[in-house]
Chains A and B, each alone.
Chain A
Amino acid sequence: MEKLVVIGAGMASGRLLEHLFDAAPGAFEVTLFNAEPRGNYNRIMLSPVLSGEKSYAEIVTHDDDWYAQHGVTCRFGERVVNIDRDRKIVVGENGEVPYDRLVIATGSDAFIIPCPGHDLPGVIAYRDLDDTNKMIDTCGKPGARAVVIGGGLLGLEAAAGLRLRGMDVTVLHLSGHLMERQLDAAAGYLLRADLERRGITVMTEASTKAVRGTDAVEAVELEDGTMLPADLVVMAVGIRPSVAVAKAAGLTVNRAINVDAQMRTSDDSIYAVGECVEFAGQLFGLVAPLYDQAKVLAATLLGDDAAFMPKQLSTKLKVTGCDLFSAGDFAEGPGREDIVFRDPARGIYKRLVIEDDRLVGAVMYGDTADGNWFFGLIKDETDISDMRESLIFGPAYQGGSSVDPMAAVAALPADAEICGCNGVCKGQIVEAIEGGATDLGAVRATTKASASCGTCTGLVEQVLAATLGDDFTLPTAQPVCGCTDLSHEDVRRLIKSQELKSQPAVWQELGWSTPNGCHVCRPAINYYLLADWPVEYKDDPQSRFVNERKHANIQKDGTFSVVPRMWGGITSASELRAIADVADKYDVPTVKVTGGQRIDLLGVKGEDLPAMWADLNAAGMVSGHAYSKGLRTVKTCVGTDHCRFGTQDSTGLGIRLEKYLWGSWTPHKVKLAVSGCPRNCAEATCKDVGIICVDSGFEVGVGGAAGMDLKETEPLVKVATEDEAVEWTVASIQLYREHAKYLDRAYKWVGKVGLDWVRETLSDDVERKALVERFDLSQTIYRTDPWAEHTPRESASRFAPLTDLTLEAAE
């Protein structure tokens, strides 16, 4: 009988032996080595073992009887240390075994991030039964905390299992959304929301710096300094094919052991199967292709013809209640088109990717019933041109209907707040409607909803329409853009009341019809999110107009202009010298005094920006945000310091305000001015906020402008002290930040909500102070100089070309 030695008793070799014994019982005398002290079991079912849904006994695939019946010599708990190909001998830890043919099925090793502390007790991978048992043991400790590094399939299954056993679990993930290799951002968002509902904390863009502890794990430290206390750290960041033995034996190994379509290695009597192989440049990490390989290898060993062919793969996550499905390829390559379907009410998202009338990829969350049907279309490369219209609705659907524009509002729960001013929820409005209030006026009268600032009017009307059906005709509100039917005001309101804190949350919960918005809605949504959730939301530069991404104004020839801040219009000889120096150094064609009391350097080359900023920073100057929907300038006049008419320190107040407000983002630009007397040399009466100093105090006006519309400020309040003037100014700007539609200048917003409402709101001492507090909180994050964040070297990547192929061609 031929001697067959198998290294590794894993999922691939288990399947191989089954095929072999079925087809030709007694053809081989088999010796089976396994480093784990046990035989073949269903590794993928470790997750149900961890969560307690299954026991180890239930997942064993081959037991002692089976091995005995087929005459397999089991050498479990013994690692193979060497292969002597000349003598055709396998060397195990406990001795040698000769072979006629040899199968390597060593699988993979879990990758451990080599950060400081990675070898502390309590840091484990998630690969085998021992790891699983260690996790289960730690769960027994009351109040135990686990940090799972890696938000892919394995990490999330570990996290869900640990959580089910009562642990406090945090998942750290390096990229922007979970399972980014299988899911797009929208499905990743829904998955995250589901996990958070189970009490798992998810941190994305979290990079691990070190594991801390003296004798055992105590905490995980992140790159940004955050410390997360931990009794257990599970690293689930990836796997590496286990190829040490094959390499040492001199077999051809690239990223894994190279095999041909018959699973032969570079040595005629040695074969490999499973995760340890590389075929046609491809690696494998799911069982479906390994089973195909096992079948092919069994045929090869028995002298039959068979060839391995990699197929499309689909993925499911084995976390009970998280319904996701992904298959095929949903990125890469031109010529593709998306079909997106969202149902916010039921938390459903589906996206199909089509190329040349064929389905090439599918991502689904919430409702995955049609997953296998789509997967079939992908695998069979079915021509879908006939069913394109209704494709996304699945095999059962005929005909196809458009998505209901009111779905987002209809989906809101009864306790969703609709009117922020008066704290009215959807349920109260529905109740009023059912009680006979069947138009806007009646709803206003009974509930006060939309009776104050009025920005929620659109939402109230949508609730009316959703409740009354055909009995109510919806006035046509201007939607944000083609990606949604909701107006700006509706979106703002819903972001607040539904606590939507990320772009994918907005796209999904409000039923956006595009994968990630467009150039019209994305900057608006980015602003709303950062204004409402300054701490939780991270500003997205890719959702900003080029000026706010490059921190300079783009010019018609693609160059930029640079305006440093000159607080309140005051400068000094050394600042002017520094400006002159950079003008010389970077060949600036034009230096101009602006209408905003500062100096503009025009015609700067994009790649010079970071270096120029560094020079200006060194001279103590910061960005003037001449490009931003944010605080621009605070113009002042010379005031009491020099002027014979000055009544208050207008220059000082202007500088104080500029230093307080700079860096803040607003719906449109915000300009201020402070004049020292009613002669108004700083032109304060045509600014978004303008202050006129008088003998008895400060007159604060709002809603002025001198651009396309010429608007005089309207008097807001008169106060006695400078502190009060600052408080009212800041509070009014915060009110504007929280309520206005993106790209509405302050005067337009005041025109919509009414000066009376603004004044009334700000007159409430508690509310005014709360507005200032919220502004201050936001400023802890945004009062920073964007120029200082871009050191010349680090920014090379954003401001200079990626490569220069003209040089290469010249050679």
Chain B
Amino acid sequence: MSWIDLGAIEDVPLRGARVVKTPVGCVALFRTAEAEVFATSNTCAHRNGPLSEGIVHDRKVTCPLHNWVWSLETGEAQGADEGQIATYPVMVENGRILIEGDSVRKRNAA
């Protein structure tokens, strides 16, 4: 496992998100409580809404386009909706946000 430094925890607003561009597409980096972060695909599985622009509540985000609610932990759609978005391993160490490197690298079809 290799961890890549993305920035300081304060760079992401509380109950907010920032986008990280990666080789596998745009990843949304969410901050819920003071020092809790999650990373998921920035693209809503419904109709490609930008999830980083949604309202973050508890450990969930609501898509700004049609209000689908996604679990930030499992990437599963909540409530009556069905779907799945990708999640990526992230952690906070000494105030820095780190993302697991292999998870956002393009995989060669082997």
Q: Do A and B bind each other?
A: yes
Q: Is the CB of A334 within 8 A of B6?
A: no
Contacts of B49 in A (CB 8 A): 558
Which of the candidate stretches A20-28, A389-397, A513-521, A746-754 sits at the interface with the other chain? A513-521
Q: What is the CA–CA distance of A519 and B60 in the complex, to the nearest angstrom?
A: 10
The one of B13, B14, B67 in contact with A519, judged by C-beta atoms closer than 8 angstroms, is B67
Which of the candidate stretches A69-77, A150-158, A799-807 sits at the interface with the other chain? A799-807
The one of A517, A544, A798, A802 in contact with B20, judged by C-beta atoms closer than 8 angstroms, is A802
The one of A332, A523, A545, A549 in contact with B35, judged by C-beta atoms closer than 8 angstroms, is A332
Q: Is the CB of A543 within 8 A of B53?
A: no
Q: Which residue of A lies closest to B92 (CB)?
A: A332
Interface residues of B in 48-70 (CB under 8 A from A): 48-50, 53-60, 62, 64-65, 67, 69
Interchain nearest-CB distance for A273 vs B (Å): 24
Q: Is the CB of A801 within 8 A of B50?
A: no
Using an 8 Å CB-CB cutoff, how does the interface string of B28-59 with A read, 1 for contact, 0 for none? 01000111111000000001111001111111
Interchain nearest-CB distance for B57 vs A (Å): 5
For residue A331, CB closer than 8 A to chain B, the reply is: yes
Interface CB pairs A-B, < 8 A, 17: A184-B34, A330-B33, A331-B33, A331-B34, A332-B37, A334-B72, A514-B57, A517-B57, A519-B57, A522-B55, A546-B53, A554-B53, A554-B64, A802-B11, A802-B29, A806-B23, A809-B22
Interface residues of B in 1-27 (CB under 8 A from A): 4, 6-7, 11-16, 18-23, 26
Additional A-B contact list (15), CB under 8 Å, known A518-B58, A518-B62, A797-B11? A181-B34, A331-B35, A332-B36, A332-B37, A333-B36, A335-B73, A516-B58, A518-B57, A519-B54, A522-B55, A542-B56, A554-B64, A558-B53, A802-B20, A806-B21
Question: Which residues of B line the A interface, CB within 8 A?
Answer: 4, 6-7, 11-16, 18-23, 26, 29, 33-38, 47-50, 53-60, 62, 64-65, 67, 69, 72-73, 87, 91-92, 104-106
Select the residue from A334, A549, A797, A808 with max chain B CB neighbours within 10 A. Answer: A334
Contacts of A175 in B (CB 8 A): 34
For residue A336, CB closer than 8 A to chain B, the reply is: yes
For residue A556, CB closer than 8 A to chain B, the reply is: yes
Interface residues of A in 504-529 (CB under 8 A from B): 514-519, 522-523
Contacts of A517 in B (CB 8 A): 57
Q: Is the CB of B54 within 8 A of A546?
A: yes
Q: Is the CB of B57 within 8 A of A801?
A: no
Q: Nearest 6 CB-CB pairs, A to B?
A: A519-B62, A802-B18, A546-B53, A542-B15, A519-B55, A546-B64
Which of the four size classes fits the interface of chain A?
35 or more
Contacts of A332 in B (CB 8 A): 35-37, 91-92
Q: What is the CA–CA distance of A248 and B4 in the complex, to the nearest angstrom?
A: 35
Q: Which residue of A lies closest to B69 (CB)?
A: A519
Select the residue from A550, A556, A558, A804 with max chain B CB neighbours within 10 A. Answer: A558
Q: Is the CB of A809 within 8 A of B55?
A: no
Contacts of A335 in B (CB 8 A): 73
For residue A338, CB closer than 8 A to chain B, the reply is: yes
Question: Which residues of A line the B interface, CB within 8 A?
Answer: 175-176, 180-181, 184, 330-336, 338, 514-519, 522-523, 541-546, 549-550, 554, 556-558, 797-798, 801-806, 808-809
Select the residue from B7, B29, B64 with max chain A CB neighbours within 10 A. Answer: B64
Q: What is the CA–CA distance of A545 and B92 in the complex, to the nearest angstrom?
A: 27
Q: Is the CB of B7 within 8 A of A803?
A: yes
The one of B22, B34, B64 in contact with A545, judged by C-beta atoms closer than 8 angstroms, is B64
Contacts of A184 in B (CB 8 A): 33-34
Q: Which residue of B lies closest to A521 (CB)?
A: B57
Q: A338-B58, A802-B6 are in contact. Are A542 and B13 (CB under 8 A)?
A: yes
Q: Which residue of A lies closest to B49 (CB)?
A: A558
Q: Is the CB of A523 within 8 A of B55?
A: yes
The one of A518, A523, A546, A802 in contact with B12, judged by C-beta atoms closer than 8 angstroms, is A802
Contacts of A558 in B (CB 8 A): 48-50, 53
Contacts of A798 in B (CB 8 A): 13
Contacts of A557 in B (CB 8 A): 48
Q: Is the CB of B19 within 8 A of A801?
A: yes
The one of B53, B73, B92 in contact with A336, judged by C-beta atoms closer than 8 angstroms, is B73
Q: What is the CA–CA distance of A338 and B36 in the complex, to the nearest angstrom?
A: 14
Q: Which residue of B lies closest to A281 (CB)?
A: B94
Contacts of B16 in A (CB 8 A): 541-542
Q: What is the CA–CA distance of A549 and B16 in the complex, to the nearest angstrom?
A: 11
Interchain nearest-CB distance for B9 vs A (Å): 10
Q: Is the CB of B19 within 8 A of A334?
A: no
Q: Which residue of B lies closest to A177 (CB)?
A: B34
The one of B53, B58, B106 in contact with A515, judged by C-beta atoms closer than 8 angstroms, is B58
Contacts of B4 in A (CB 8 A): 805, 808
Interchain nearest-CB distance for A126 vs B (Å): 24
Q: What is the CA–CA distance of A519 and B92 in the complex, to the nearest angstrom?
A: 26
Q: What is the CA–CA distance of A517 and B55 in the complex, to the nearest angstrom?
A: 11
Contacts of A181 in B (CB 8 A): 34
Contacts of B14 in A (CB 8 A): 176, 542
Q: What is the CA–CA distance of A175 and B57 in the complex, to the nearest angstrom?
A: 19
Interchain nearest-CB distance for B63 vs A (Å): 9
Q: A546-B64, A802-B6, A805-B23 are in contact. Are A334 and B73 (CB under 8 A)?
A: yes
The one of B19, B29, B58, B65 in contact with A556, judged by C-beta atoms closer than 8 angstroms, is B65
